[in-house]
């Protein structure tokens, strides 16, 4: 069984995340979206909200599970039996950062990282941009799935 982790804080889950996750479905038998806990990072949305945003995008999709985790992603991979990590790449900066992490993870474990380039239509979207729009009452709705829209 090909099992992967798609890790992140997903604060909030964006159309870019959705695109990478949907495109990963054909590559793996199961994908666990790992919603990372980081006590040093202040999030806009609670862990429960972030998990629900993602779950609501994939109602009825048995290949996707969503779990919170804390600590190293490779430890989470080992805990759930995943041999792959999926990461989306928007630009050269993302690639350089992710490459260093992937090499470190590979050195410390046998877990491979699979990079998917974001689609052109979502390559400019980031959670930090969405949070900035929400904070300033901007129109963020074109950048997130329906499940993230606030009341």
Catalytic residue among 26, 41, 42, 128: 41
41 classed as catalytic: yes
pTM value is 0.94
Among 115, 111, 113, residue whose Cα is nearest residue 83: 111
71: left (phi over 0), alpha (psi -120 to 50) or beta: left
Domain annotation for the chain: domains and CATH numbers: 3-148 (3.40.50.620)
127 classed as catalytic: yes
Three-state DSSP class for residue 3: strand
Catalytic residue among 17, 24, 50, 87: 17
Catalytic residue among 9, 24, 50, 127: 127
Catalytic residue among 3, 65, 90, 99: 90
pLDDT per residue over 41-98, tens digit each? Answer: 889 999 999 999 999 999 999 999 999 999 999 999 999 999 999 999 999 999 999 9
């Amino acid at each position: 069984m090909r099992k992967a982790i798609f890790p992140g804080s997903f604060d909030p889950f964006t159309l870019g995340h959705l695109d990478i996750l949907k495109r990963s479905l054909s590559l793996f038998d199961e994908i666990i979206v790992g919603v990372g806990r980081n006590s040093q990072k202040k999030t806009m949305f609670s862990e429960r909200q972030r998990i629900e945003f993602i779950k609501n995008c994939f109602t009825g999709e048995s290949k996707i599970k969503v779990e919170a985790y804390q600590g190293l992603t490779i430890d989470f991979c080992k805990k759930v039996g995943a041999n792959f990590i999926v990461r989306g790449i928007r630009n050269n900066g993302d690639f350089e950062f992710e490459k260093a992490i992937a090499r470190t993870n590979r050195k410390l474990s046998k877990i491979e990282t699979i990079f998917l380039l974001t689609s052109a239509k979502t390559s400019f979207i980031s959670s930090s941009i969405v949070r900035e729009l929400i904070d300033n009452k901007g129109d963020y709705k074109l950048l997130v799935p329906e499940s993230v829209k606030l009341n």
